[in-house]
């Protein structure tokens, strides 16, 4: 009986830990859903994914500024690209995905 209780508690602890450790957001999927329309075409002055020259002055401001602008909105870009249901972490993952080709 004691062993069963120990196994049960161990199982509960493992479940709690796995629930606490969430999978990383899928930046590519979020980009495809929320960002691609503007960042593939350059609509409204959006820097195009992979365009080093367009991203350079933005990168000079630092990642935290890029994240803040993406989350809160900046110039023509609405907060979270208009997808207000996205978490801040999801938006950051999309930004990271967009910047992969230029970093």
Beta strands in the chain (DSSP E): none
Angle subtended by helix axes 52-60 and 63-72, to nearest 10? 100
- The single residue listed with the structure tokens 């023509």 is 76
User: Could you give the CA distance from residue 27 to residue 22 in angstroms, rounded to a whole number?
Assistant: 14
Cα four-point dihedral sign 79, 83, 88, 94: negative
Rounded Cα distance between 78 and 35, Å, is: 11
> Does the structure show a pLDDT above 70 at 80?
yes
The region, left, alpha or beta by phi > 0 then psi within -120 to 50, assigned to residue 79 is beta
Q: Please give the biggest Cα pair distance in the chain.
A: 67
- Answer whether residue 19 shows pLDDT above 70: no
Tell me, what's the pLDDT at 58?
96
CATH superfamily of 25-102: Cytochrome c-like domain (1.10.760.10)
By mean pLDDT, which of 1-5, 21-25, 60-64 is the weakest?
A: 1-5
The whole model's pTM is what?
Answer: 0.78
């Amino acid at each position: 009986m004691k062993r069963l209780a120990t196994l049960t508690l161990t199982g509960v602890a493992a479940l709690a830990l796995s629930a606490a450790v969430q999978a990383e957001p899928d930046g590519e999927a979020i980009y495809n859903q929320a960002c691609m329309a503007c960042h593939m075409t350059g609509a409204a002055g959006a820097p195009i994914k992979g365009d080093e020259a367009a991203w350079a002055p933005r990168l000079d401001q630092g990642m935290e500024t890029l994240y803040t602008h993406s989350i809160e909105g900046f110039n023509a870009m609405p907060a979270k690209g208009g997808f207000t249901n996205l978490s801040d972490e999801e938006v950051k993952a999309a930004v990271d995905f967009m910047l992969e080709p230029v970093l």
